[in-house]
Amino acid sequence: MGTDLDKLFSKDPYALFQTWFKEAVNAKLPEPNAMVLSTISDSGRPNSRVVLLKGVTNNQFQFFTNLHSQKGHEIEKNPQACLLFFWPTLGHSLGRQVRIDGSVIKLSDEESDAYFATRARDSQLGAWASHQSEVLDSRDTLEKRFHQAKERFEGQAVTRPPHWGGLALIPERFEFWIGQDNRLHDRCRYTLNLGVWARQRLNP
Ligand SMILES: Cc1cc2nc3c(=O)[nH]c(=O)nc-3n(C[C@H](O)[C@H](O)[C@H](O)COP(=O)(O)O)c2cc1C
């Protein structure tokens, strides 16, 4: 069984993810780091939205957001989430999907500060202006808040809003999917078992 899987799915899911990610970047797919993040509400309803993967550090999949947003609240109450990448068919390459689930932790203030500092100034100001996921009475209100932030930080570095920061998903399961002819796709699930990743081929 190992040999059958080895041809397509290496033993280490992180290494396989990095290979596929590099291939998606090299293929010039639009937004290769866009991933669907799914969380669960208090009442058990799933919610999905796209966020951008900003790095895989210490085997943690990092992204940045407003911690007071809907996703922020949901993750705070139930720190379980699922990430989904879809890299569609392009040229000779076949479509690929990667599903990763696990628990979510908050990055340290230092890590969030470090990433915030790399953002374009207007994006930094936007983080102050947007009360993400709250009802907004008009576009005008948002733009006013943006200009207020601009005036406030005139001539100085824009500090990170305390409610804006990084989260990271620590994988407990991966599933890699490769589109094949006749819907006979290849799937491989990786499950973490006492610190060791076990692989299983799944029916398509
Ligand atoms: C391509 C793309 C990239 C996005 N990247 C992010 C991101 O990195 N962080 C973020 O908070 N929202 C990002 N968004 C917006 C989210 O999809 C979402 O609208 C927002 O975070 C509010 O979600 P929530 O109300 O579920 O918390 C992105 C949207 C798209 C379409």
**Domain ranges, ordered by start, for the chain:** 2-117+161-202
The reply to whether 183 belongs to the active site is yes
Distance CA 156, CA 23 (A): 40
Q: How far apart are CA 166 and CA 113, in angstroms?
A: 9
Per the model's pLDDT, the better-predicted residue between 81 and 193 turns out to be 81
Q: Which atom of ligand 1 is nearest to the CA of 70?
A: 27
Q: Is the CB of 40 under 6 A from ligand 1?
A: no
What is the DSSP secondary structure assignment for residue 155, as one 8-state letter? T
Opening angle at CA 171, ends 165 and 175, nearest 5: 125
How much distance in Å is there from the Cα of 54 to the middle of ligand 1? 13
Q: What pLDDT shows up at residue 4? A: 85
Mean pLDDT computed over 88-115? 91
Out of 23-27, 154-158, 188-192, least confident range: 23-27
Catalytic residue selected from 183, 189, 199, 201: 183
- Please name the helix (run of DSSP H) or strand (run of DSSP E) that holds residue 175, with its range, or none: strand 164-178
Per-residue model confidence (pLDDT) at position 92 = 60
Is the beta carbon of 123 within 6 A of some atom in ligand 1?
Answer: no
2-117+161-202 under CATH 2.120.10.30, yes or no:
no
The percentage of residues in the chain with a pLDDT greater than 90, rounded to a whole number, is 90
From ligand 1's centre to the CA of 201, what distance in Å? 32
Instruction: Look at residue 26 and tell me whether its pLDDT is greater than 60.
Output: yes
Q: What pLDDT, on a 0 to 100 scale, did the predictor assign at position 93?
A: 60
For the stretch 125-184, pLDDT in tens is 999 999 999 999 999 999 999 999 999 999 999 999 999 999 999 999 999 999 988 888
Candidate of 39, 49, 74 to mutate for ligand 1, largest count of ligand atoms within 8 Å of Cβ = 49
91 Rama sector, left if φ>0, alpha if ψ -120 to 50, beta otherwise: left
| Alpha-carbon span 190 to 16, nearest angstrom | 11
For 64-96, the pLDDT digits (tens) are 999 999 999 999 999 999 999 999 976 666 799
